[in-house]
């Protein structure tokens, strides 16, 4: 930068917006190089350490959710199936007892359908007789 050259108008148009930077280069001021402080190094280490721990944690979760565990010693499938069968039987008993009552609308409808379809007269079979 010993010599200053005159720039043509064409080159000035290209360099528009960079005048501030060119002025800095003309002033012979030394540019500061970023000094790394201990705080920045500690922050980088903490961030790196956190990311390493997070990778380990996520890998453990992936292994946990993707691999089938061998739980043959404590298999509960049969016990759960038996409990469900017992519960189904109990629900059926409650439902049947509820439907057996003579005042139920469902029973009255079925009785009406039965009587209208199969009775040939007043002496035909009634639903509650069967």
pLDDT tens track for 11-58: 666 666 666 666 666 555 555 565 556 666 677 888 888 899 999 999
Of 20, 34, 29, nearest to 1 (Cα)? 29
Nearest CA among 102, 101, 129 for reference residue 115: 129
Q: How far apart are CA 84 and CA 81, in angstroms?
A: 5
CB-facing half-sphere around the CA of 41: CA atoms within 13 A = 4
- pLDDT tens digits, one per residue of 117-128: 877 655 555 555
């Amino acid at each position: 930068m010993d010599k200053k050259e005159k720039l043509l108008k064409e080159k000035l148009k290209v360099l528009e917006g960079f005048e501030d930077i060119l002025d800095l280069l003309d002033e012979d001021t030394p540019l500061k190089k970023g000094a790394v402080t201990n705080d920045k190094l500690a922050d980088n280490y903490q961030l790196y350490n956190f990311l390493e721990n997070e990778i380990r944690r996520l890998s453990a979760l992936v292994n946990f959710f993707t691999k089938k565990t061998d739980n043959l010693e404590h298999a509960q499938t049969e016990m759960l199936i038996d409990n469900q069968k017992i519960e189904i039987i109990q629900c059926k008993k409650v439902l049947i007892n509820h439907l057996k009552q003579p005042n139920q609308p469902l029973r009255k409808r079925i009785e009406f359908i039965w009587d209208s379809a199969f009775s040939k007269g007043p002496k035909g079979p009634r639903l509650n007789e069967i």
